[in-house]
Amino acid sequence: MMKLGKQIAGMVLSGALACGAFAGVSAVSIGTAFAQDEEGGQRRRSQQLDIGVAKELSKVFELLNAQPPQTRAALDTLNALIASKPNMKAYDKATTYQYRASVKVQLEDFQGALRDFQTALDADGLDPNGNNQLRYYIAQLQFQLENYQAAIQGLNAWIASARQQGVPVDANAYYLLAAAYTQITPPNWRAAVGPGEQAIAARSEAKKSDYDLLNLIYSELGESSKRGPLLEKMINNWPHERSYWVQLSGFYSTTGKDKEAFAVLEVAYRAGLITRESEIITLVNYYSFFDNPYRGAKLLDREMEAGRVARNTKNLTLLSQMWSQAREHKRAIPVLRAAAQSANNGELYYRLGQVLLADEQYAASERALTSAINRGGLAAEKAGDAWLLLGTARFSQAGPEDCTIRDRAREAFVRAQRYPKSSRQASEWVTYIDAIKRTNDAQDRLEQQQNEEIRQDSIARQRTALQVCRLQGGANCPQIEAQLQALIDAGPVPLRSTCKGAASNDNEAQNNEAQDEAEASDG
């Protein structure tokens, strides 16, 4: 706020104050000793400059208009004039001190300028309009010197007097008064509204600083009904001002007009005004919010390539989410994998496992979910879900005879049962896998029974064949007897499992390793 006050005062002082205070010097330079009053008659002789004073002021005028201006020499001339004439009449004194104050303003001696303007006013040698103008200069200097309350009093008095005299009020005076209200402690934002609005109304051409100040005042007061239209005018007047577009979008967002906020930000982006990462990310999120994730993902990817958006974990995660939302899983997976590798916990590997599972990349999903569990940092609900998804990824890799893989899937589901949120679904999976096992076991026993019945039938047939052979005295009886003995010696048919006995490929070896890691890290 203090910096704002300095900028405002410096702008006003370099314009209206300095130029206005010297407006009368040109009259001295051409030797005009009499001025005309409003009715065309001569002023009283007390309003006439002494010839000696007029000559010295003419020298001051010439010094200030030299190239380059001889400001310091002009001040020395005025100092000498004042020292040589300690008893000047009121008009000469007021005029001379007014000029010296103006020179001091140019030299940025604001304290000295304030004293000289006050001396000129106290001399009471000018007409009412001239004295009132001195009050205006004094108020501006009070602002420059951060005496804001004094500046407010002076400006209000000057404005009231100017209105009484029918003199147009300078737009800068309204602007400065509004700014002064914002600088006092605490700021009086409500009192600043009127002069802030009058400053804009008093100008024939829009001035950016007027609108900036009133925008600040409306923002502090929460004047939504006024601030929105004001920002729209600001964009129309200065369409290349990036901050105005951002502010209008933010204004719409805070007032519940998200669609308008999105539209404003999108237009500004297309115009090349939106280049900051935070603003680009806001626009990307709007695309997601309004169900256009594909365009948002394309934009974010393009801005990452251009280097305007950092390729960090947070932004990569957002990009992967956008691709997933757009059902572009093939694009989401490598982005999410890169983000997961740079993360310091298992959260992103958990998301990667979800995406891979949805894309039916079951082995890759198993590896990602195992990494998620190993890295840790998951909330209890997600930890349970990670085990549930890990079991699903393993089960999805099992063929009809892959009992070992199903057993490992069951182990993951059993761990998922420990978490309340995933317990019910995990229990259903365990029940299902157990049912498959019972079915397979029953099938194995049935097959064993059937094979044993076949063996017994074969034994009975061979015995009958051996008896017939002996009765007939056949030559092949020893052969039949040997076959019978072989069937008897084989014993009962063993129970044969339909499951594969061992891991048969690299995937299963990786599965075993992943399960071992997950078990080691599971708390």
pLDDT in tens, the chain (523 residues): 445 555 555 544 544 454 444 444 443 433 333 333 444 444 455 678 999 999 999 999 999 999 999 999 999 999 999 999 999 999 999 999 999 999 999 999 999 999 999 999 999 999 988 999 999 999 999 999 999 999 999 999 999 988 888 888 989 999 999 999 999 999 999 999 999 999 999 999 999 999 999 999 999 999 999 999 999 999 999 999 999 999 999 999 999 999 999 999 999 999 999 999 999 999 999 999 999 999 999 999 999 999 999 999 999 999 999 998 998 988 989 999 999 988 888 989 999 999 899 889 999 999 999 999 999 999 999 999 999 999 999 999 988 888 899 999 999 999 999 999 999 999 999 999 999 888 888 887 887 788 878 888 888 888 888 888 888 888 889 888 888 888 888 878 675 666 665 443 444 434 444 444 444 344 3
Residue 64 placed within a domain: yes
Q: What phi, psi does 107 have (nearest 5°)?
A: -90, 5
pLDDT attached to residue 27: 38
Closest CA to 304 of 287, 284, 288: 284
199 domain-assigned: no
Taking the C-alpha atoms of residue 125 and residue 316, their distance in angstroms, rounded to an integer, is 74
Integer Cα distance of 484 and 477 in angstroms:
11
Cis ω before 187 (30° cut-off from 0): no
Tokens of 13: 């002082």
**Cis, peptide link before residue 400, omega less than 30° from 0:** no
Pure H helices in 13-70: 18-21, 25-29, 51-64
8 A C-beta contact, residue 500 and residue 406: no
Range of the domain at 79: 1-167
Q: What is the pLDDT of residue 34?
A: 33
Which pLDDT does position 497 carry in this prediction?
65
- The residues that bridge with 341 in the sheet, in sequence order, are none
Helix%, strand%, coil% for the chain, nearest 5: 75, 0, 25
Instruction: Say if 138 falls within a structural domain.
Output: yes
Residue 361's SS3 state is coil
Dihedral sign computed on CA atoms, order 106, 112, 116, 117: positive
Angle at 39 between CA 33 and CA 45, to 5 degrees: 35
Supply 109's token pair: 């001696």
| Closest listed residue to residue 417, CA positions, set 434, 396, 438, 399 | 434
Looking at residue 384, its pLDDT comes to 94
The DSSP secondary-structure symbol of 168 reads P
Structure confidence by residue, pLDDT tens digits, 446-459: 877 888 788 888 88
pLDDT (0 to 100) of residue 400: 82
Amino acid at 73: A
Give the residue from 167, 199, 225 where a domain finishes: 167
Q: Is residue 18 helix, strand or coil?
A: helix
241 within a domain of the structure (yes/no): no
- The one-character DSSP state at 22 is T
Q: What confidence score (pLDDT) does residue 7 get? A: 54
In a domain, 488, yes or no: yes
Q: Which residues pair with 42 in a beta bridge?
A: 36
Contact between residue 274 and residue 293 where contact means Cβ atoms under 8 Å apart: no
Residue 252 belongs to a domain: no
Residue 156 maps to which CATH number?
1.25.40.10
Residue 92: both structure tokens together: 């000469």
Cα–Cα–Cα angle for 51, 56, 61, rounded to 5 degrees: 120
Element (H or E) spanning 470, and its range?
A: helix 420-472
Q: How many domains does the chain have?
A: 2
- Flag whether 102 is in a domain: yes
Give the residue from 104, 137, 167 where a domain finishes: 167
Residue 184 located in a structural domain: no
Q: Of 167, 192, 207, which residue constitutes the final position of a domain?
A: 167
Please report where in the chains the tokens 């958006």 appear, as a residue.
309
Q: What is the DSSP letter of 400?
A: T
Q: Give the model's pLDDT for residue 481.
A: 84
Q: Give pLDDT, residue 19.
A: 43
Give which of 192, 242, 188, 181 is closest to 215, Cα–Cα. Answer: 192
